[in-house]
Amino acid sequence: MLVGCLALSGLSLLLLPRNIAYDPWSWLIFGREILHLDLNTRLAATSVKPLPMYIDTVLAVFGSSAAPILWLLIARTGALLALAVAYRLGARLAGPVAGIVAAVGLAASNEFLAYLLVQGMSEPMTAAAVLAAVDTYLAGRRRWALGCLIAAALLRPEAWPFLLGYLLWLAWPGSWLRRAIAVVVGIAIPFSWFVIDWFGARQLLRSAHAATQESQGGPLLSRQPGIATIRETWHLLSAPVEILFVVGFVAALVAWRRDGRPNL
């Protein structure tokens, strides 16, 4: 699966534009500055994201011309993996038709193909990590699931509660060494977000502050930002996908009540 997605991503570099969005460009700059031990995030409008910055620090070795192309190759591979794992997970749970619906639904989500995939954004990589965590967990590969959750938590802070809950579930019945490792990982992942800005701007919360800066009309400027965000993002999924989700959720509840247990 990985080799196939990597090959398609390489082909996309020949067929699709190589424009990179603003945030990926910022991470490329941050990675080059880290390589030269001169990180400066003080005036950056982009929030730091540890995993992209770690990757871009390595890519900086290849020079300013090759690094953006290599990042696009990696980011697009992650986006294609998200589609592939969406199909795999759907097929695992409810057959090939469900897999197709899952992959098509993800591809049809707002700007997934036209913007997020093409311009190298990190959100599709996050989707791939989260879906892979669920898929590997269902396959009984607990360590792979943990690794995928760690990757997701290095891409989006919203993944922290899921990672911490999974660490607790893994460590609670385990040995003291497993519990110690869980504590170290649980502390290190959130800490990695703040320490980057500390070295780059001497401010632990610079990225959090940058993320709250909205242009005129943004949901964070309204009196009910939560409701405004829901209204603004309601269109991200198409109506057929939303209807299928409701139907599938109700069918799952009926099956669970009839069988007395989840059908996993």
Is pLDDT above 70 for 127?
yes
Residue 240: band (very low, low, confident or very high) from pLDDT cuts 50, 70, 90: confident
Written as six digits, the tokens of 24 are: 């990926």
Q: Which of 96-105, 138-147, 180-189, 218-227 has the lowest mean pLDDT?
A: 218-227
DSSP states of 46-77: SPP-HHHHHHHHHHGGG-TTHHHHHHHHHHHH
Let me know: does 177 contact 166? Beta carbons within 8 Å: no
Q: From CA 60, how far away is CA 148, in angstroms rounded?
A: 24
Q: From CA 21, how far away is CA 19, in angstroms rounded?
A: 7
Residue 69, Cβ density class (10 Å: 0-12 exposed, 13-18 middle, ≥19 buried) = middle
Handedness of CA 135, 56, 5, 237 (dihedral sign): positive
pLDDT for the residue 201: 80
Nearest to 155 by CA among 34, 52, 31: 52
Residue 175's φ and ψ, nearest 5 degrees, are -75, 170
Written as six digits, the tokens of 180 are: 């110690």
Q: Which residues of 117-126 are buried (b: 16+ CB within 10 A; e: fewer)?
A: bbbbbbbbbb
pLDDT for the residue 237: 72
Let me know: does 89 contact 102? Beta carbons within 8 Å: yes
Q: Which of 93-102, 146-155, 173-182 has the highest mean pLDDT?
A: 146-155
Residue 68: band (very low, low, confident or very high) from pLDDT cuts 50, 70, 90: very high
Is pLDDT above 80 for 261?
no
Please compute, for residue 41, the number of CA atoms within 13 A of its CA located in the half-sphere on the CB side: 32
Is pLDDT above 60 for 217?
no
pLDDT for the residue 219: 64
pLDDT, averaged across the chain? 88
Residue 60: band (very low, low, confident or very high) from pLDDT cuts 50, 70, 90: very high
- Greater confidence (254 vs 235) lies with 254
Within the chain, residue ranges assigned H as helices are: 2-15, 22-35, 50-59, 66-94, 96-107, 123-138, 142-153, 160-171, 176-201, 206-211, 225-233, 239-259
Is pLDDT above 90 for 251?
no
**pLDDT, tens digit, for every residue of 24-49?**
999 999 999 999 999 988 887 788 89
pLDDT for the residue 202: 80
Q: Which of 20-29, 101-110, 218-227, 231-240 has the lowest mean pLDDT?
A: 218-227
Q: Which of 89-98, 122-131, 171-180 has the highest mean pLDDT?
A: 122-131
**pLDDT, tens digit, for every residue of 166-207?**
999 888 877 888 888 889 999 999 899 988 888 888 877 777
